[in-house]
Amino acid sequence: MNLSSIKSAVTISLVPEAKGGPFVLWDGLEEGMKTAATLGYDAVEIFAPGPDAVGVEEVMELIERYGVEISTLGTGAGWVLHGWSLTAAEEASRRHAIDFVKTIIERAAAFGASAIIGSMQGRSGNGVSRDQALDFLAIALEELGEFAQQHKQALIYEPLNRYETDLINSVRDGVALLNRMENKNLVLLADLFHMNIEEANVGDALREGGKHIGHVHFVDSNRNPAGCGHLDYGPVVEALSDIEFNGYAAAEARPWPTPQAAAASTIDSFKRLFR
């Protein structure tokens, strides 16, 4: 199996309000990038409150200083801080959500990185049926996918488990959603934590995702760092090899038992499985 093209990344949260969430490093951008470089990561995935928290000059200087790339920027702060979602009942909230995601797409593109749509997808409720929510989601993703394409980056969409959304929970449903899109600039994020809940066979689901899989969240069954739960990574590695995945495997995991230990154990697992 040739897995050498898969790259490693670790999450950095710059949003104190997200404390307790599945992000590994919490001590600021420079300290996080320094830690990532010291441990041998290829890149970092940043959960930022907005584009101003990741200034272009500052981040480019840190990339140069530490030799660590930016893989992706999360957009979930739009939900955590403002309560916006792409499927909200109120049109103004949906518009705010789309506009916020665009600012993240634009800033990510400055670093050659992509933006992720996860919690910002929302769910049904408050007078919005599941079918209506799926329509709202598709409309938003069309617009955002085109915007990302204008910035020469793919847009990454993440199916979530049933406890976080009732819209798209499985890779199969994610593929169906992407096939529904006129814009073909979207790829799927395969999060192993969500997949462990929703998929009967994680390896088969990855194969079904195939060319649509553009990013992986490398995490264990309990959302602890890879290797600290009961997930069998053998089928995962085989499937990623079969589909010739060459993107990032990013540690979006709880900082257990400490951020430093979580980052270290994840990169150890990454090297053991993919190198």
- Residue 51: asked if its preceding bond is cis (omega within 30°), the reply is no
Q: Note whether 49 and 60 are within 8 A (CB).
A: no
116 vs 122: CA distance, rounded Å: 14
110 vs 100: CA distance, rounded Å: 16
* Sign of the torsion angle spanned by Cα atoms 152, 210, 166, 12: negative
Tens of pLDDT, residue by residue over 17-55, are 999 999 999 999 999 999 999 999 999 999 999 999 999
Longest dimension (CA), the chain: 50
Q: What is the residue-wise DSSP string for the chain?
A: ---TT-EEEEEEE--GGGTTSS-SB-S-HHHHHHHHHHHT-SEEEEE-SSGGGS-HHHHHHHHHHH--EEEEEE-THHHHHH---TT-SSHHHHHHHHHHHHHHHHHHHHTT-EEEESGGG--SBTTB-HHHHHHHHHHHHHHHHHHHHHTT-PEEE----TTT-SS--SHHHHHHHHHH-S---EEEEEEHHHHHHH-S-HHHHHHHHGGGEEEEE---TTSSSTTSSS--HHHHHHHHHHTT--SEEEE-----S-HHHHHHHHHHHHHHHH-
Q: Which residue has the tokens 């840190």?
A: 62
Q: Which of 103, 124, 123, 118 is nearest to 22 (CA)?
A: 118
193 vs 79: CA distance, rounded Å: 20
Q: Note whether 105 and 147 are within 8 A (CB).
A: yes
Tens of pLDDT, residue by residue over 224-253, are 999 999 999 999 999 999 999 999 999 999
Asked: is 7-274 a CATH 3.20.20.150 domain? The reply is yes
85 vs 76: CA distance, rounded Å: 9
Q: Which of 215, 214, 253, 246 is nearest to 231 (CA)?
A: 253
Residue type, 30: E
Residues with a catalytic annotation lie at 158, 252
- Structure tokens, 255: 């900082």
How far lies 153's CA from each of 109, 146, 167, 251, in Å? 6, 10, 25, 21
Where do the domains of the chain lie? Answer: 7-274
Q: Which residue has the tokens 């898969």?
A: 6
Q: Which residue has the tokens 């599945």?
A: 22
pLDDT tens string for the chain (275 positions)? Answer: 779 999 999 999 999 999 999 999 999 999 999 999 999 999 999 999 999 999 999 999 999 999 999 999 999 999 999 999 999 999 999 999 999 999 999 999 999 999 999 999 999 999 999 999 999 999 999 999 999 999 999 999 999 999 999 999 999 999 999 999 999 999 999 999 999 999 999 999 999 999 999 999 999 999 999 999 999 999 999 999 999 999 999 999 999 999 999 999 999 999 999 99
